Amino acid sequence: MTIHQARIAGLPLMNLIRFKGTPIFQQLQLEERLLRTSSDNWCIINDGTNAPAIVMGMSGRFTGGGTVIVDHGTVFITFICNKDAVPDVQPYPRSIMSWSSLLYSEVFRGIDNFQLRENDYVFGNCKFGGNAQSITKKRWIHHTSFLWDYEDMNMAYLKLPEQAPEYRLARGHMEFVCRMKDYLPNFVFIENTVKAIETHFSVNPVNLESIVAPCDKEFVHSTRLLAKEELEEAYACPAKSQSHQLSS
């Protein structure tokens, strides 16, 4: 379906931002701002962050989720929608997750055993995508980190989480996760995703530079970099910190 035909069909508008190598911290702050201050629907595709980072879904952060290590091999795709934008999707975690799994079923059509298991995207029983959401009164955000590729060494930093999905079956990280690049080319994944989005929305490509405005400095983000003292405090109280070290 072409954009022209989609608009005629009355599909909701979706602003699409695509970038590569944008720092995950910058992306998350952008997402938070768009969720809280915009009334439009947005899709953000970031093909790899330029600097490795540890993203902790600590309580008080604006989205849920656990701890992930991300780098240039991680592809991030985020949907920010008004609660009435998608028919039959209620602003609750399971409804949003169900919808997203249907969209990605279109993306991975023909690839063996793609499915949503609990809150993860898997091929068979190997996880390649983790999700997090934030839901406000009128909008929701669904953020996915896709393991296009990863460094074994970085994965070794992650502890086994206290709370893990049942299908994990106590497997270590190397046995639990898999690389997307072993299943399909990057350009196929990205283009299939854009096509899938176009079947649900009228897509409007947007440049990142066009949406960064001086007044944005007034918005107070909850997403932030942790100070050394906070990390030391968390390390000193493992029982408390591990309660939020959820598997992503």
Listed in order, strand segments (DSSP E) in 112-171 are 114-117, 120-123, 126-135, 139-147
Binding mask 46-85 for another protein (x = CB under 8 A): -------------xxxxxxx--------------------
Site for another protein in 130-169 (CB under 8 A): 131-137, 163
Closest separation between CB of residue 140 and another protein, Å? 9
DSSP summary character for residue 180:
G
Which is nearer to another protein, 163 or 199 (by Cβ)? 163
Tell me: does residue 88 bind another protein (CB under 8 A): yes
Tell me: does residue 243 bind another protein (CB under 8 A): yes
Which is nearer to another protein, 48 or 57 (by Cβ)? 57
Cα(57)–Cα(18) distance, integer angstroms: 24
Closest separation between CB of residue 95 and another protein, Å? 8
Cα(231)–Cα(169) distance, integer angstroms: 29
Closest separation between CB of residue 88 and another protein, Å? 6
Closest separation between CB of residue 27 and another protein, Å? 17
Which is nearer to another protein, 24 or 35 (by Cβ)? 35
Closest separation between CB of residue 60 and another protein, Å? 6
Other C-beta atoms within 10 Å of 5: how many? 11
Q: Which stretch binds another protein (CB under 8 A): 17-25, 103-111, 195-203, 240-248?
A: 240-248
Which is nearer to another protein, 41 or 134 (by Cβ)? 134
Length of the chain: 248
- Give the closest residue to 185 by CA, choosing from 111, 125, 129: 111
Closest separation between CB of residue 48 and another protein, Å? 23
Tell me: does residue 90 bind another protein (CB under 8 A): yes
- Give the closest residue to 143 by CA, choosing from 202, 75, 85: 75
Closest separation between CB of residue 52 and another protein, Å? 23
Which is nearer to another protein, 12 or 93 (by Cβ)? 93
Which is nearer to another protein, 96 or 197 (by Cβ)? 96
Which is nearer to another protein, 30 or 132 (by Cβ)? 132
Could you list the residues that contact another protein (CB under 8 A)? 59-65, 87-88, 90-97, 119, 131-137, 163, 243-244, 246
